[in-house]
Structure 1
Amino acid sequence: MTSNLTIEELKTMIFQLPVEELMELISEIEERLDNVKMMQLAETGFQEWNDPEEDIYHD
């Protein structure tokens, strides 16, 4: 999904939300950030599996 909204326009829209919805949004953003951080951390644990020689099995 692409949008032509600027950050400032998005902030303006967000700050118009009722407090309960704003808190829910913050919670969902924090959850998304935590997931992204965990995935990035997990990627470092699998670098040894990125062996170009094993790509022969993809043919």
Structure 2
Amino acid sequence: MTQVSRIEEIKTMLFQLPIEELITLIAEIEEKLETVRIMQLAETGFQEWNDPEEDIYND
């Protein structure tokens, strides 16, 4: 199954949901995306802490 066919299958399932469930689902997806975006943005603030010399503590 290709990614395109999976997306079409998901869209078909979504369009069968009642509008109230779609609204709830959209809100949950937006919340997840916002969290991911914030985490990605936060990563840029910690680049100065990314010191390869400190990897010795991972052993």
Q: TM-score range by the shorter chain?
A: 0.7 to 0.9
> Any stretches of 5+ residues in structure 2 without a counterpart?
none
> Any stretches of 5+ residues in structure 1 without a counterpart?
none
Count of residues paired in the alignment: 56
- Take 1:18 and 1:55, find their aligned partners in 2: how far apart are those partners? 51
- 1:12 equivalent to 2:12? Answer yes
**Secondary structure class of the residue paired with 1:6:** helix
- Structure-1 residue corresponding to 2:28: 28
Q: How does the TM-score come out when normalised to structure 1?
A: 0.86
**Secondary structure class of the residue paired with 2:22:** helix
- 1:47 equivalent to 2:51? Answer no
User: Structure 1 segments of 4 or more deviating over 6 A?
Assistant: none
Give RMSD over aligned pairs.
1.5
